[in-house]
Amino acid sequence: MTPQFVIGFGKEALELTLMLSAPLLVTGMIVGLVVSVFQAATQIQEMTLIFVPKIIAVIAALIFFAPWLLDILTNFTSSVLANIPVYIR
């Protein structure tokens, strides 16, 4: 294995991690922003109010994006397992 291969494999794994986590993180960020604007508009200063909507939204996003996330993860894993003989050389 060459250093270029290891760097390329690490880059691909990092890109996959970012692509898999992006929908959930963006959902949490948008819900957090909406709840923060609501808190500012109504002057409710309860710090724990933001957690329940964020948890519900992230779970809903996980359920919605699960087929796509599993498809990407399965394709990556199967390509890694299929190419093990090539990686060994």
Residue 28 lies in a domain: yes
Domain that holds residue 59: 23-88
Residue 8 lies in a domain: no
Q: What is the per-residue DSSP string for 40-68?
A: HHHT---GGGGHHHHHHHHHHHHHHHHHH
| 10-residue mean pLDDT series, the chain (89 residues) | 87 94 96 92 84 94 96 94 85
pLDDT of residue 57: 96
Domains held by the chain: number = 1
pLDDT of residue 55: 94
Residue 65 lies in a domain: yes
Residue 18 lies in a domain: no
Residue 79 lies in a domain: yes
